[in-house]
Chain A
Amino acid sequence: DAEITQSPRHKITETGRQVTLACHQTWNHNNMFWYRQDLGHGLRLIHYSYGVHDTNKGEVSDGYSVSRSNTEDLPLTLESAASSQTSVYFCASSETERDVTDTQYFGPGTRLTVL
């Protein structure tokens, strides 16, 4: 069965370190998204991609970067981790950008703690 996976599921790191969170989907979806979820804010969009070599900034992109070298993967990199980036991170994918019946499929999340 097709799925979307994230790794690691839990990560503890120190301020200033570079961290990469992996996202892998086997749906062959063009669209991929990274969200963070925080108490009091809900889910907020960090970066998104509509296809290979395409990346775009979301509403909370500062301090994060992504690259899309193939259809299946969209890794999220924290260039220099900050305590404000302690959060739960969700990756999602969807099939086409112009299909109004499009459903987003979410990964299980990565809980990141920056000390």
Chain B
Amino acid sequence: KQEVTQIPAALSVPEGENLVLNCSFTDSAIYNLQWFRQDPGKGLTSLLLIQSSQREQTSGRLNASLDKSSGRSTLYIAASQPGDSATYLCAVMNRGSTLGRLYFGRGTQLTVWP
């Protein structure tokens, strides 16, 4: 069974810092990996999706990398802002029988203070 772990569980930083969120997964037979953002009381918004054949994806100040062989992904946020405060979730989509379902980590709760 796929297990996804995110470290750290919580992170508090001053505005302007560059930061890294980590995600690891136990089964490297994946289709893709996604990073989501969740604001309090809201649903999930997809930030970046990395296919298994790719090494990284970038969107604005966000950069996500994938090392499938070691079962790791990182989300890099450059020049953090208070508006980045949210919970960030990592999820993988496995190859195999249950196509389309996602396995989630528990998330990293990020607070960026002015």
Binding site for B on A (CB under 8 A): 31, 33, 35, 40-45, 48, 50, 56, 58, 90, 92, 94, 97-98, 100-109
B-side binding surface: helix, strand, loop or mixed?
strand
B63: Cβ under 8 A from any A Cβ: no
Q: Is residue B34 within 8 Å, beta carbon to beta carbon, of the partner chain?
A: yes
In the complex, are the beta carbons of B100 and A50 less than 8 A apart? yes
Which B residue sits closest to A43, measured CB to CB?
A: B104
Count of interface residues, chain B, beta-carbon cutoff 8 Å: 26
Contact B99 A97 (CB under 8 A): yes
Min Cβ gap B105→A in Å is 6
Among the stretches B11-19, B42-50, B67-75, B76-84, the one at the interface with A is: B42-50
**Which residues, 29 to 48 on B, are CB-close (under 8 Å) to A?**
31-32, 34, 36, 41-46
A90 & B44 in contact (Cβ 8 Å cutoff)? yes
B-chain residues with CB within 8 Å of residue A106 when the two chains form the complex: 36, 43-45
Residues of A within 8 A of B34 (CB): 103-104
Say whether B112 faces chain A, with CB atoms less than 8 Å apart: no
Do B42 and A101 touch (CB < 8 A)?
Answer: no
- In the bound complex, do residue A41 and residue B106 qualify as a contact, i.e. CB atoms below 8 Å apart? yes
Chain A residues positioned under 8 Å from B98 (CB to CB): 48, 56
